[in-house]
Amino acid sequence: MAAARTVLTLVRHGQTSANLDGVWHGSTNTPLTPHGHRQAEAAAAWIEAHHHPVQAVGRIYASPLDRAHHTAQAIGRRLRLEPTLDPTLAEYDLGEWEGLGFEELFREKRLFENLARDPHYAPHGGESPLQVGQRIADALVRIARAHPGERVVVVSHSGALSIGLGLLLDRDYTSWERRMHNCALSELVIEPEPTLISFNFTDHLPPDPDASGDERR
């Protein structure tokens, strides 16, 4: 009989004001909006109903930033599990460019052009894409191997997860297309090789008619 495989349920945190305003809050500790809390509760209900057997033998790991921690707490209340905070799951830190608008980072600072060109490019006291991708990839592998045969919930951030999954799945940190919506769910296995079972599932989420910003960070 084949051993049960470990499945990581990857969750992006709920909506924040930075998502609505289209600004980058990587290491900035931004709280969830009221809608972000509703998203977290919806994700928690879906995981409880469909992502077995987290409640029986699983774990929850989360970035220590409030937006991820509080999303994980909503899931933990449903599953009667206490989240473990893991700083290696935090978002991409842009140093002095924290809080700048997404358009300014793209057009004036040429952030993404520089990131794609140089894996060691670190903007003004922040992290390089290789640093971010490697810590996220290493964290996902470490967590999966620590819980053989279990279902584990991991709550993190879109930017960091996009880069980490690029390294894990494609050996290419510039695979920007793997971006998650707020409180979207994805499923990842690490062994025998890293594979996404599902990605960016959003059917469980309540609509937000007021959302008009860039919700990728």
Show which residues are catalytic: 13, 91
Element (H, E) at 188: strand 185-189
CB neighbour burial string for 122-161, b if at least 16 within 10 angstroms, e if fewer: bbeebbbbbbbbbbbbebbbebbeebeebbbbbbbbbbbb
Residues 6+ positions from 30 with CB-CB distance below 8 Å: 16, 17, 18, 65, 66, 67
Residues 6+ positions from 47 with CB-CB distance below 8 Å: 9, 11, 54, 75, 78, 79, 153, 185
Could you give the count of Cα atoms lying within 13 Å of 39 in the half-sphere of its Cβ?
A: 27
Q: Could you tell me if 104 and 49 are in contact, meaning their C-beta atoms sit under 8 angstroms apart?
A: no
10 Å Cβ neighbour count for 89?
26
Backbone angles phi, psi at 169, to 5 degrees: -90, -35
Closest CA relative to residue 93, chosen from 3, 5, 47, 25: 25
